[in-house]
Amino acid sequence: MTKPPRHPPAELAGRQPAAVVSALTVLEEVARAGPGVTAKEISTALGLPPATTYRLVNLLVAEEYLVRLADLRGFALGRKVVELAGAAAREALPPGVPEAVTALRTRVRLAVHLVRYRDGRLRLVDPDPDHPPSAEALLARHLHASAVGKLLLAERRDLLPVSLARFTPATITRPDLLDLELAGVRSEQAARQLGELRRDRGCLAFPVRGRAGGLLAGLAVSTSPDRVGRLDRAVLRLVGRCVDELADLLAPDPT
């Protein structure tokens, strides 16, 4: 159930306050439902008239708060939402971390995301603003369907979900196959996701570890599923250097 709208400031008049609240509610629903939610599903969930929903969705897409997925079957949070979330998250990061991730993005010209792990939870702390990832809530809830989630599951077997939700035909939904996948993650110290959360998105994630070997963060490079296994060696070397740099920045020498 959605919360009742707050009373608007006095200087806002007419239908503007209600339209603003409705637009924000649509954004909240897309974040809750995850990538691929359709305008019809948003309309049903919020009890908004279809015409109003389509108008708000199209406006939010035009303003880059939402993005229409490549297969035209639904929507996801857009660049501006990711920028807002990233700005808040970066405030808590140690000096040098955002700069290191930004430098890697410039060099490899691929989507690069940074997540942190604390108390068995995944937090998206520096998403790529030009290539918005899946919503943090979706990644955190369905660890088996993303590369950054598999990094955490490979360390914390106790976090394995009782049931494995299917998002695409490529999603691993059998526990025995997931066990094999996680064994490979532990062996290779890298995790892959090949169209398992979204058909058009693949990902290669590397663990960032502390001096005692604990999992601190995950650095993910995202591209199309067919390119994940064919990344240039020069790109992988740059990613590896960034992982080492982040390890030093996130777990500095004790003074």
Using only C-alpha atoms, the chain has a radius of gyration, in whole angstroms, of 19
- The per-residue pLDDT for 253 is 56
- The per-residue pLDDT for 85 is 64
Give me the long-range contacts of 37-41 (CB less than 8 A, separation at least 24): 37/74, 37/75, 38/73, 38/74, 38/75, 39/75, 41/74
- The per-residue pLDDT for 9 is 42
User: Could you tell me the domains of the chain?
Assistant: 16-77 (1.10.10.10), 80-250 (3.30.450.40)
pLDDT at 4 over 50: no
Query: pLDDT tens for residues 188-235?
Result: 999 999 999 888 889 999 999 998 899 999 999 999 999 988 888 999
pLDDT at 249 over 60: yes
More confident residue, 125 or 162: 125
Distance of CA 51 to the CA centre of its chain: 29
More confident residue, 18 or 64: 64
For the sheet containing 202-209, what is the strand order?
Answer: 121-126, 111-118, 215-223, 202-209, 191-194
Share of the chain above pLDDT 90, in %: 48
- The per-residue pLDDT for 145 is 93
Give the up-direction half-sphere exposure of residue 124: CA atoms within 13 A in the CB hemisphere. 27
pLDDT at 113 over 90: yes
Mean pLDDT value across the chain = 85
Q: What would the mean pLDDT of 170-182 be, rounded to a whole number?
A: 95
More confident residue, 221 or 28: 221
Q: Kindly report the pTM of this predicted structure.
A: 0.68
DSSP symbols for 222-252: EE-HHHHTT--HHHHHHHHHHHHHHHHHHSP
Token digits of residue 36: 């691929």
